[in-house]
Structure 1
Amino acid sequence: MIGTWISTAFATGISFLALDSIWLSLAASRLYRPRLGPLLLERFDVAPAAAFYLIYLAGILIFAIAPALVTGRWTSALARGAMLGLVAYATYDLTNQATLRGWSATVTVADLCWGMCVTATAATIGFTVARWMLARG
């Protein structure tokens, strides 16, 4: 069972990181820098980014994949992942919009949509890997 969770965490983490890397490489110059330029660092800080990815991966496993394995439905992983993404990204973006001068509502809307999509996708991939591993015995 521990091997299943390790494989699930790996697949979920790699899929999330790969998709998020693509998004950030495309959106940085087109969305974030034009709207949030003065607020952005020239280069991101690896330590807090790594902490985010590890904590968020745990959240996907606990709040989306594990409950979906109980129901046995990939649609549960998808829906729970989307909801987790909405809650997490809304916490960040709406707090920034409420407290920072110059935070863009366009960034907030784009981030909320992205957070839902990337988390739902990673949760569904992780669920699929877990089901496959469990079926193998």
Structure 2
Amino acid sequence: MYYLKLYCCTLLCFFVIDMVWLVLIARGFYQKHLGFMLKDNPNWPAAIVFYLLFVFGLLIFVIVPSLDASSTKKVLILGCLYGVITYATYDLTNLATVKNWPWIVTVVDMIWGGVLATSVSYLGYLAGKWLQ
């Protein structure tokens, strides 16, 4: 039950923070640079599967090992690395394969991946400490 609660807390943090970014902060940026290929409405089933898998990865590779080590430093470093690397996988693949993919989107998105995963990992770490 502990891990399910930890997962749900982390998932909620991830969703809220990413929605603030996508809807309130970066919407204009993505519209400007990717508007030619954006859907009017997102494919929510695909987005939900991404959120579920990404947060599962955060728990397995970042949060739980950091809780086991009782290390704030570890959660921050691993969270940042996880975010940059996972977002780089998407963005650099697009830069390599999608015609007219803007390099600025790759840079901003990879930075965002690092910020998002670090923030969510830290909040998940705090939730894990609180739930223990």
TM-score by length of 1: 0.92
Give the equivalent residue in structure 1 for 2:26.
Answer: 27
Query: Equivalents in 1 of 2:8, 2:49: separation in Å?
Result: 16
**Counterpart Cα distance in 1 of 2:94 and 2:58:** 23
Aligned to 1:74: 72
Distance 1:27 1:129 in 2: 27
State the secondary structure of the residue aligned to 2:36.
Answer: helix
Amino acid at match of 2:8: F
**Which structure 1 residue ranges, 5 or more long, are not aligned?**
none
User: What root-mean-square deviation, in Å, do the aligned CA atoms of Structure 1 and Structure 2 show?
Assistant: 0.9
The partner residue of 1:108 within 96, 106, 109 is 106
How many corresponding residue pairs? 131
Q: 1:52: which partner in 2?
A: 50
Quote how far apart the aligned CAs of 1:105 are.
Answer: 0.9
Amino acid at match of 2:26: A
User: Out of 37, 59, 62, which is 1:39 matched to?
Assistant: 37
Out of 43-52 and 6-15, give the one that drifted further.
6-15
Identity level (%)? 33
Name the CA distance, whole Å, in 2 between partners of 1:132 and 1:78.
Answer: 18
Quote the Cα distance in structure 2 between the aligned partners of 1:11 and 1:77. Answer: 16
State the one-letter code of the partner of 2:131. Answer: M
2:90 to 78, 89, 92: 92
Q: Following superposition, which runs of at least 4 residues in structure 1 exceed 4 angstroms of deviation?
A: none
3-state SS of 1:38 partner: coil
Distance in 2 (alpha carbons) for counterparts of 1:133 and 1:39: 42
C-alpha distance in 2 between matches for 1:121 and 1:76: 13
Deviation per residue, 1:83-129 (Å, 9 max, x gap): 10011100000000100111111111111111001111111111111
Cα offset for 1:74? 1.7
